[in-house]
């Protein structure tokens, strides 16, 4: 079993839809949770970062963490064609420069 599981998709939705992306994990020592967006042939860019259970909102993006269920989500509201990319969840244990463990990535397409 992989430490982090993420549905690779692909996921295709119409413009304006609410998108839900999810990851589950097995290592209860994970304390930091991140969502990255990666456009084709580019490096990942950080979208959201959180370390506690609950919701964190930033514009159209909401990150949700449920440590009791070992489940994290990213919601995108009012999705735009420019949101079309691969979304990667990543997590690490506490303490400085620890290794990031990535999910497989979900390919998302927003259709105009």
Partner 1 sequence: GAVVSQHPSRVICKSGTSVKIECRSLDFQATTMFWYRQFPKKSLMLMATSNEGSKATYEQGVEKDKFLINHASLTLSTLTVTSAHPEDSSFYICSPYGGNYGYTFGSGTRLTVV
- For partner 1, the closer of residues 51 and 61 by Cβ is 51
Q: Which stretch binds partner 1 (CB under 8 A): 11-19, 52-60, 74-82, 92-100?
A: 92-100
Provide the phi-psi class of 59: left if phi over 0, else alpha when psi is between -120 and 50, else beta.
left
Closest distance to partner 1 from the beta carbon of 15 (Å): 24
Task: Specify the stretch interacting with partner 1 by CB under 8 A; choose among 17-25, 59-67, 74-82, 91-99.
Answer: 91-99
Are 91 and 4 spatial neighbours (Cβ–Cβ below 8 Å)? Answer: yes
Are residues 69 and 82 in contact, defined by beta-carbon separation less than 8 angstroms? no
Report the distance separating Cα 14 and Cα 4, nearest Å.
Answer: 28
Options 25, 35, 44, 110; binder of partner 1; rule CB under 8 A: 44
Q: Is 83 helix (H, G, I), strand (E, B) or coil?
A: helix
Tokens of 79: 């999705």
Measured from the CB atom, is 49 or 61 closer to partner 1?
Answer: 49
Q: Kindly state whether residue 1 participates in binding partner 1, applying the rule CB under 8 A.
A: no
Centre a 10 Å sphere on the Cβ of residue 109 and count the other Cβ atoms it contains: 14
Q: Tell me: does residue 47 bind partner 1 (CB under 8 A).
A: no
Looking at beta carbons only, is 16 or 39 nearer to partner 1?
39
């Amino acid at each position: 079993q992989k430490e982090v599981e993420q549905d690779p998709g692909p996921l295709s939705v119409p413009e304006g839809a609410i998108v839900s992306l999810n990851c589950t994990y097995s290592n209860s020592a994970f304390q930091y949770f991140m969502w990255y967006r990666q456009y084709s042939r580019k490096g990942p860019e950080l979208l959201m970062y959180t370390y506690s259970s609950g919701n964190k909102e930033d514009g159209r993006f909401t990150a949700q963490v449920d440590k009791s269920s070992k489940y994290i989500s990213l919601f995108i509201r009012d999705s735009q064609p420019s949101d079309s990319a691969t979304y990667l969840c990543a997590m690490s244990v506490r303490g400085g420069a620890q290794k990031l463990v990535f999910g497989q990535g979900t390919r998302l397409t927003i259709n105009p």
